Structure 1
């Protein structure tokens, strides 16, 4: 896999590519016809709730029948039997503890408890759908212009995007894990800043991938830092979405909904917080499981990826950060907003980086199998931590203050 292809897949894995926002404005107020269509979509998305809760921030969480969740509206999952837990669980290698891990079971306010036989999901609102349309209008979920560049020339247009990551593409990957340092960077309405861990497989035009991590994205989550997921089976053409905005992800947890607000967050030169995530393929069923802090959140069934990759594992793993900004604005901070050279307590990191090999064995990647990438070192950097570097065996420091503006391209 050459450098150009690696960079493109890396971008696709960390965030769906975004075109110039100024060229594709979305009406803040939809027409009556559009509203009716969105209301119809809401009826399909929001399944009947056995119990509902509303937080102080106005978010509503529903307890729905595990057998009647949105995932099973997907035509490939009509006859799918819910797996309550994976049949195989990786035995990850223990690592040094230098930060405090957040407890995923304490993220929702006290008193929110779903009954047996149900799962917890965030209720989607009309405003959520309007914001989703806004995301599409500025280019999310549509990396067509990048594929066009790849086929027409060697120059890769990364307009508006900046990233600092660590990538593994040495051999088959059956899973990845990492502890993602939590920060709450400031962004404007059309900007995005995130930390991610991802796997992918296949050529760019048919890329199958799953990304998990945290994201600050006002259009998607209104404010602050939230747990996010994204999947696709065809290079973001017709399949996939964030969280549960479309059928696909099978929720099994009664306590950890996708899109949940994450807290507490790290303090510069103070207490550091992290969340531990793992993404692995069940060796018996082939499903891809998301585990957060040792708790099974849910999975993407293997059938979603039949004929498009990820059925027999992935060939790319990635950890790090990315930001997006319209070219009319200076790019926002990534991670803590500070460069890796400032080190622990000041720079953002992903530590405890490991992979599962094709046999399901946890491995600490060898130095020659991973490589750090930076799209614009003037604004963001990444630093690979390995072997004798303290305080971890394998990790990546990443981030920076931002301030980039204009068109970015890489050869």
Structure 2
């Protein structure tokens, strides 16, 4: 176990140095590729069944008790929790529990057997790009981006609605789906996040969709990200490091999302939630009423998120190299265009200490825009039907720096 963990840390450190010291177009040396292949063999666990999708992505059915999560030293004696100890009513209600069924995550006829979970197979390109995104501080919650830290924030832009009024134990939101176009070295995401602690000990979890050709090919994919120490040594995207415990055999992290919204036409959204199990302290990720998996409480001991969170955020974020014009955010249109044209997150709710999903008071939600000439946020509430709490966000981009 020690030698395996040492291999992971050494290899990721090597990749980080490559990415920070050189441009994104740098090709790893043969020696570096060998080290990455060793890491891949460690990350991609033996599959009981495998299959390839029409867009070329490979998924493995892995023994639920032998998945990568349990290589984490803090999870050595962890017992898999198949579901929260007390499933909140807002998850089990019929109108919510059927929403995951609206998505065709994988091709018909593809399924994993009982006792396994479905995991997207990691590639060398995945490792390189995910570490690059981590090294540039991408996906940090808004308040981290605006505080003094050692992360170069050049090229980052965000438009969000944030809650920081009181301690919460989860968040909900229906995130509008758009399959936007960006260049290979650009990123555009729609996200919902929770965070706790100062930057040096920041603990956060983010979920949503991402368009980033180098990590997810050319289309919109489901993504997650977590850290327990301010984006330094812990955490990763999806299941590219030990930590997240997958329990679903139907919804893999990093999967292509279909169908998507049409400008001026049918709108598609995904119902997501993050909530803390009060009995175990684990943080559960739920998609349309289906438990995808969880981040065990032990991952965050000594940092934050052990007992709830103080920040929740909904909205968009993009990144582009300093000499390139920034990409589109959301649908690529400003909030003023409204429903059917601008991207939105509706059904915004917070989860209190009793596990109840609540509509936040109007005054507790604050909007933030880093670059209003390119991206903006509009918060709608009681008087703005059809939603009680929602935001429109995004814009066409085109900013430099």
Q: Which residue of 2 aligns with 1:275?
A: 270
Contact 1:24–1:137 at 8 Å: present in 2 too? no
Aligned alpha-carbon RMSD (Å): 2.6
Between the aligned partners of 2:366 and 2:129, the Cα distance in structure 1 is: 35
Which residue of 71, 82, 85 maps to 2:80?
A: 82
Answer whether contact 2:220 2:257 (CA < 8 A) is retained. yes
Quote the residue 1:404 is aligned against. 399
Question: How far off is 1:106 after superposition?
Answer: 2.2
What residue ranges of structure 1 are gaps of 5+ in the alignment?
1-17, 407-411
Tell me by how many angstroms 1:327 deviates. Answer: 1.3
- Aligned match of 1:309: 304
Q: How far 1:149 moved relative to its partner?
A: 7.0
Equivalent-residue separation in structure 2 for 1:23 and 1:31 (angstroms): 14
Matched, 1:176 2:171: yes
Give the TM-score normalised by the residue count of structure 1. Answer: 0.87
Match of 1:108 among 106, 109, 112: 106
Q: What corresponds to 1:15 in structure 2?
A: none
- Find out whether 1:287 has 2:282 as its counterpart: yes
1:38 maps onto 2:33 in alignment: no
For the 8 Å contact 1:142–1:237, the answer to whether it is kept is no
- Assess if the C-alpha contact under 8 Å between 2:104 and 2:258 holds in 1: no
> Counterparts in 2 of 1:107-146, with a 5 A limit?
107-135=105-133
Q: Superposition pairs for residues 17-36 of structure 1, below 5 Å?
A: 24-26=22-24, 28-36=26-34
Q: Partner of 1:384 in structure 2?
A: 379
How many aligned positions are there?
379
CA distance in 1 between partners of 2:226 and 2:129 (Å): 19
Instruction: Give CA deviations for 1:63-95 in whole Å, capped at 9, x if unaligned.
Output: 010000000000000000000011122333999
1:196 matches 2:194 = no
For residue 210 of structure 1, what is the aligned residue in structure 2?
205
Aligned to 1:323: 318
- Could you tell me which of 60, 63, 67 is aligned with 2:61? 63
Q: State whether residues 102 and 263 of structure 1, in contact with CA within 8 Å, keep that contact through their aligned partners in structure 2.
A: no
* Residue-by-residue CA offset, 1:94-145 (whole Å, 9 max, x unaligned): 99x9xx96636621111111110000001112332243454456565899xx
| Contiguous gaps of at least 5 residues in structure 2 | 1-15
- Indicate how the Cα distance of structure 1 residues 138 and 175 shifts in structure 2: closer, same or farther if over 3 A, else same: closer
Match of 2:217 in 1: 222
Separation in 2 of the partners of 1:278 and 1:330? 33
Aligned counterparts of 2:361 and 2:207: Cα–Cα separation in 1: 23
TM-score, length of structure 2 as denominator length: 0.89
In the TM superposition, what whole-angstrom CA distance separates every residue of 1:354-383 from its partner, at most 9, and x where no partner exists?
A: 001122221100011110111111101100
